[in-house]
């Protein structure tokens, strides 16, 4: 029987290689590796590589993940994913939990508690982020990406466009993309 492993990271700046190394260092001989670069807010079955894994893994095989949150976006999703895998007699190993059988009654209880705690932590992180953004905004700080053009350049772009200059030519002239030029023109 084969051993499958799955990793997930949220951004392209991150790599799932550390998760793979962690799984191998724990003594698991991985036959098939799948990883997604996708937000943790996406349910497990909506993740392309996880869905591919589910299509390839056979009943009775083993799935190894480094952390519980790789199996779903919240407690309900993790529970549904583990139920789906258990119905196919697929052993689920979560390194973070040690040698706990997630399909046993004790494992199900522990899984539910840990998934709920993970969901609460994620909710608290969102809350803190929103509070920080609100505070920064109330202090008058400008949020978001800095403008690529100055106010004077934006006035100049609008004026030159009005005289017949093309969007592409304006983009080259000011060193910005066509989309940036169009954004300046739309906000004018």
Q: Which of the residues are catalytic? A: 10
Q: Which residues touch 35 (CB under 8 Å, ≥6 apart)?
A: 6, 7, 8, 9, 16, 19, 20, 49
**Quick one: CA dihedral 15, 17, 18, 22, positive or negative?**
positive
Q: In angstroms, rounded to a whole number, what is the distance separating the alpha carbons of residues 121 and 125? A: 6
DSSP-derived secondary structure for 84-150:
HHHHTT-EEEEGGG-S--TTSHHHHHHHHHHHHHHHHHHHHHHHHHHHHHHHHHHTTPPPSSPPSS-
């Amino acid at each position: 029987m084969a051993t499958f492993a799955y990793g997930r990271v949220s951004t392209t700046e991150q790599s799932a290689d550390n998760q793979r190394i962690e799984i191998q260092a724990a003594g698991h001989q991985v036959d098939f590796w799948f990883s997604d670069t996708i937000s943790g807010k996406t349910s497990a079955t909506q993740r392309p590589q996880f869905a591919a894994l589910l299509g390839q893994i056979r009943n009775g095989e083993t799935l190894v993940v480094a952390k519980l949150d790789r199996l779903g976006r919240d407690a309900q999703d993790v529970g549904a994913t583990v139920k789906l895998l258990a119905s196919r007699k697929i052993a689920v190993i979560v390194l973070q939990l040690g040698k706990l059988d997630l399909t046993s009654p004790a494992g199900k209880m522990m899984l539910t508690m840990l998934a709920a705690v993970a969901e609460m932590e994620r909710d608290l992180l969102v809350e803190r982020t929103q509070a920080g953004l609100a505070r920064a905004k109330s202090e008058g700080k400008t949020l978001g990406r800095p403008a690529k053009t100055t106010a004077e350049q934006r006035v100049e772009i609008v004026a030159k466009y009005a005289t017949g200059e093309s969007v592409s030519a304006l983009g080259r002239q000011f060193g910005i993309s066509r989309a940036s030029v169009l954004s300046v023109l739309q906000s004018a």
